[in-house]
Amino acid sequence: MKLRTGLLLTTAFVAGITAAPVSGILARQFGLQIFPSAFAQDGSRADTYRLLNLFSDVFERVRAEYVEPVVDKDLVENAINGMLTGLDPHSSYMNAKSFQDMQVQTSGQFGGLGLEVTADSGFIKVISPIDDTPAARAGMKAGDLILALDGQTVQGLSLNEAVDKMRGPANSKIKLTIKREGVEKPMDVSMNREVIKIQVVKSHLEAPDIGYIRITSFSEQTDAGVRKAFADLKAKSGDKLRGIVLDLRNNPGGLLDQAIAVSDDFIKDGEIVSTRARHPEDSQRWNAHDGDLTDGLPMVVLMNSGSASASEIVGGALQDHRRAIIMGTRSFGKGSVQTVIPLPGSGGAMRLTTARYYTPSGRSIQGLGIEPDIEVAASRTEVPHYGPDHEADYGKAITNKGGAPTGSLPPRTDLPPIAKDIPKLPPENQVAFDPTKPETDFQLQQALLVVRAMPISKRASK
């Protein structure tokens, strides 16, 4: 049987937790269906049986002659995981423990470090530290490569195994050896594990009349958090908000229904996103309901290469509807849908790529990402990169297929005049970014300038 989910919007795992974007993707959203058996598409049934016999021969030879005794269950699970990970970067196998952890994550609190990570060339790459967690306080940064855990190399470990080692009881200590861009030698970072309570939406007034909303991931609480944040901002401003900055930077994704709901908060009507599967009858489309939470207030969305999947659905919908101006740098470019399929008898499940998603204009952002309307870099410092920064950098990424041609979206004619004066790079004397000091955030400061220059709609000014 298979369990159709929302988008499994990233390969990220929360260190000490489980896969961040897969909480809440159980049968409450989709019914169970029979998973049909299949045979090789490019050969006869006999060819398939010969290949299965080949697998059986290798299995028996390993059992009989490997240098040490092996466990049959481990061999089979490794084979399944190899079959799935060989397809694309986002298909994989979850053993019983990983699958259980995925479901437990819906409770909203977990033991660990607060790191969102992915596999990268045999090491573990940090996508982003979660705000107000041991990892964030220890100074972990997006792009850090984790080389070792408590002195033991992560090479040879699967992503699940590495994440498992980063989990542990609260107050227990762990040392991570990392390689950071621009730093010549590996460095050790020690921290104590904690119970992670993820606050996925944060907000504050950046000025007396401009609200700032940051979404760190799309979990079950995201849409409710956005609505509460806007209500709080409106009250704190004395009902005098003139614009919103929505920060999706380093947001690796999450649940499809939450991406749709957040988009719906700001779009009056029309399509939000559609998915196209191998079989046309499995394709779907979602539309906005009447109404805009903000009554059309000017809006800027900040994105970067760490903005993936659910973030790209929101950014793409707001961009296509000309509801918001996208600022920052090109997003990650993950435009695929994953289905979690429980495997009876094993207690585990497989995560299988089953569709692509498309923005309202028909664009597939798979491998391309969302291009900003106004490009603004966070730093002018060029440093060497370790591993892929975008979906297209992965060798086995699925192709961009079936969408509107690249460049088919008409040029924007609604940008305020100040847009042409926004610099792409910070000045050479720009103060180093400090997350506790918004004034050092160059991209945010440029977004505030643009919001102020955007006209307030008649509806929003009522």
**385 half-sphere exposure, CB direction, 13 A CA radius:** 8
Amino acid at site 250: N
Give CA–CA dist 435/460, Å, rounded: 31
Partnered with residue 205 across adjacent β-strands are 211
Rounded distance, CA 177 to CA 156, Å? Answer: 16
Cα separation, 327 vs 248, in Å, equals: 10
DSSP string, 122-184: TEEEEEEEPTTSHHHHTT--TTPEEEEETTEE-TT--HHHHHHHH---TT-EEEEEEE-TT-S
Catalytic residues: 309, 320, 334
Q: Which residues contact 141 (CB under 8 A, 6 or more apart)?
A: 126, 129, 180
Token pair recorded at residue 339: 């289905």
Q: Are 358 and 408 in contact (CB under 8 A)?
A: no
What are residue 203's DSSP bridge partners? Answer: 213
Between CA 441 and CA 435 the distance in angstroms is 8
Cβ burial of 296 (10 Å; 0-12, 13-18, 19+) is middle
Output phi, psi for 8, to 5 deg.
-85, 95
Closest C-alpha among 241, 164, 255, 251 to residue 205: 241
Compute the C-alpha angle 128/133/136, nearest 5°. Answer: 50
Assigned token pair, 295 = 């009554």
**R_g of the chain computed on alpha carbons:** 23
The amino acid present at 194, given as its one-letter code, is E
Question: First CA to last CA across the chain, in angstroms?
Answer: 52
Query: Could you give the CA distance from residue 305 to residue 333 in angstroms, rounded to a whole number?
Result: 8
